[in-house]
C-alpha cells in the first residue's frame, strides 16, 4: 500500500515539477518556522526560571521619552533601590547589578576583566548562587571584598588556597 502511494507521489512530482518544488519549499519553510518559533518560545518561557524564588523576583526599568517614543532601560541607581525598599513594604530585598571592566593585579600579573559586576550583599539573599568556598552570608560585606567564579580563581591562583589572597 505504501509503495503504491510513494510511486503515485513520485509520478505527480515528475509531471509538475515547478508546482511540486513550490509546495515542498513552502512546507519546509512552514515546518522550519514552527520549529524555530517553538524553540524561541521555550527559551523565553524558561529564561531565569532556574531560580527557586522566580515568582518573587522583579526587574525595574526606567522609561525615558526620546524622539516621540519611550525607551526602557533596565538600570537604576543604588540610592533608588534602597529608597524603594524603605518606602514600599512589599519589597523584601533589593539589589543593583551593574557591569563594567576592571584591571586586576595579582603578584606580577595584570589582567583586564571585561565581565566584572558591581553589586551589594543583598544579591545573595535574592538569588541562590552556590558557593564552593567561603561564606555566603559574609560575601561582599566589606567594601573591598569580591566574589569570583571558579574559572577566575583558577586563572589567577591556580590550585592554591584562596584564603587571605588579595588583588590590587
**pLDDT at 150 (0 to 100):** 86
Question: For residue 100, what is the DSSP state?
Answer: E
The model's pLDDT over 28-48, given as tens digits with 9 standing for 90+, comes to 999 999 999 999 999 988 877
For position 38, what pLDDT does the model report? 97
Task: Rank 7-21, 27-41, 64-78 by mean pLDDT and report only the highest.
Answer: 27-41
The DSSP code for 68 is: T
Q: In the predicted model, what is the mean pLDDT of residues 47-56?
A: 78
> Can you list the positions of beta strands (E) in 21-68?
62-66
Q: What are phi and psi of 111, to 5 degrees?
A: -135, 150
Of 84, 96, 86, nearest to 122 by C-alpha is: 96
Q: Are 93 and 125 in contact (CB under 8 A)?
A: yes
Pairing of strands 109-118, 98-106: antiparallel
Burial track 100-112 (b if 16+ CB lie within 10 A, e otherwise): eeeebeeeeeeee
pLDDT at 39: 96
Taken in order 87, 91, 97, 98, is the CA torsion positive or negative? negative
Read off the pLDDT of residues 107-160 as tens digits, 9 standing for 90 and up.
Answer: 777 888 888 888 888 888 888 888 888 888 888 888 888 888 888 888 888 888
**pLDDT for the residue 143:** 81
pLDDT at 102: 87
Burial class of residue 167 (count of CB atoms within 10 Å of its CB; 0-12, 13-18, 19+) = middle
- Measured distance CA(83)–CA(27) in Å, rounded: 56
Task: Check pLDDT > 80 for residue 24.
Answer: yes
- Percent pLDDT > 70 in the chain is 100
Amino acid at each position: 500500500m505504501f509503495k503504491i502511494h510513494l510511486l503515485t507521489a513520485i509520478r505527480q512530482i515528475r509531471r509538475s515539477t515547478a508546482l511540486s518544488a513550490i509546495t515542498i519549499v513552502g512546507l519546509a519553510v512552514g515546518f522550519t518556522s514552527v520549529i524555530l518559533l517553538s524553540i524561541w518560545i521555550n527559551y523565553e518561557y524558561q529564561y531565569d526560571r532556574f531560580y527557586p524564588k522566580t515568582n518573587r523576583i522583579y526587574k525595574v526599568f526606567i522609561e525615558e521619552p526620546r524622539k516621540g517614543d519611550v525607551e526602557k532601560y533596565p538600570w537604576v541607581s543604588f540610592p533608588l533601590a534602597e529608597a524603594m525598599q524603605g518606602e514600599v513594604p512589599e519589597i523584601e530585598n533589593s539589589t543593583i547589578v551593574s557591569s563594567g571592566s576592571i584591571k586586576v593585579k595579582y603578584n606580577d600579573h595584570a589582567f583586564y576583566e571585561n565581565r566584572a559586576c558591581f553589586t551589594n550583599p543583598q544579591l545573595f539573599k535574592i538569588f541562590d548562587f552556590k558557593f564552593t568556598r567561603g561564606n555566603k552570608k559574609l560575601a561582599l560585606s566589606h567594601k573591598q571584598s569580591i566574589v569570583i567564579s571558579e574559572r577566575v580563581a583558577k586563572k589567577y591562583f591556580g590550585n592554591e588556597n584562596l584564603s587571605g589572597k588579595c588583588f590590587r
